Structure 1
Amino acid sequence: MEQTPSTFGHSRTAWTCSVRRWWTPYEDGLFFFDLQLPPSTYPAEPPLVHYRSFGLRVNPNLYPSGTVCLSLLGTFGGEDAAELWSPAKSTVLQVVVSIQALVLTAQPYYNEQGNKGMGERNVLPYAENAYLLSLRTMLHLLRRPPARFDELVRAHFRRRGQFVLRRCAAYLRQDGSCTLDADERPCSEGLKLGLAGVVPRLVEAFTNIGAEGCEEFDQFLKAIQN
């Protein structure tokens, strides 16, 4: 996780960027959040947090509107009192760590209230969809990075773009060592179809910013497009 705090006017706005949740649908992604510490309410009340969603719901706790559902923020509903914000004990760091550890998880399906008793049949499809949305988020960020973070976004994907593409290629080849499922079930044809549409755009976007290792995917691209 990387954080880049700053202060803008009286609202004391900070930005945070969560990166590289290994073995999750969010691996190697960047996820931006606005944090506001209103002088009139903070720290008696939790900070205000807004997710930069680009209209995509990559996780049950992250709404397209930007709402972040988290007990610590008092936005989850039905929270246990022990999980709520405490003016004496809670910190902004707790909020950031909670987003990384409790929201951007390997099985986001279970983040949805009521899903824990629904069985496991939907876990893999949900993770696959979250993965595709995470890849689309990368494209949005490269096209429209948050102000003052354009170089951070480009630098991250220059380094990690080839690893994003390698993982996509492993799914398309049905490499058994690469799975979005704890039980190592094979990925679906739906995921492969979705990847066939997004991977060429990723290769182009990463190549345009000078990402390392993109040239090795030229032949692979031709294969999936034929």
Structure 2
Amino acid sequence: MDQVQNMQSLFDKLSDVNSFFAYGQKLIPTIEKIVDFMKATIPLLENVNQSILDSTNKLPKAAVQINSVTNATEVAVTEILDVVDGASNDLVTIISKLESLRTRLDIQKKVIQRLSEKYPDDPDIKELVTNGLDPEVIHEDYTAVINLADKIQTGLMNITISLQVQDITAQQLASANHLMNSIQTKLSSLLFDIGPKEEADAKVDNRINLPNDLAFNPDAKYDRDHNSQVLADSLVADTQSQPSQKEIDELFSKK
């Protein structure tokens, strides 16, 4: 009886072994497909690796070009602002001279009125007033010049305000450089993960070098509102007293 049970147990185990080999035969094609897929994937991974390497090594050049453009633009804008400042100062002098001229014109107007009242029938005085000393004509010319000076001054202010776009652009480019630096770091890390470290070190031969103290606002935007500029001008002009922290916070909170 025991012998029969042992034989039955042996047959059961042989049946299990047979089932295992049968399952193995079914699994072999799947394994072969996986191996074939991996063989086909290797060239793709090599292409991805090379693409990552190329992109990583091109990023520093792009960063240098962005820095060069930013620096050149900053120099150009500074030169423009110097010209605008000079023109603004000259315009202030012109307006001051015009105000002084207005005072003298008022005196001249009174003199002409006195002459006209004292010599109402003198033809020479009438001709002189009509042709060159008419107070009304002189006042109209003065008003026209003052209005033109105000228009020029407003235009210069608009130029100054508009040139803030350079600062906004510089901050956004700095943000782009910072982003590219982060991307390069990630790509370099990926190269270390998918390839030998020595090979990765040899291939990644460029680094993006950014100043440690570089400050920028990635959310900086262009603002044509003159309120910020007026507040800044008032802080600069007020040299007799120290600006309060509240005023400084108010200035930068509008950016």
TM-score by length of 1: 0.25
Which has the larger share of helix? 2
Higher RCO, 1 or 2 (CA under 8 Å, sep at least 6)? 2
Looking at CA atoms only, which structure, 1 or 2, has the larger radius of gyration?
2
TM-score by length of 2: 0.23
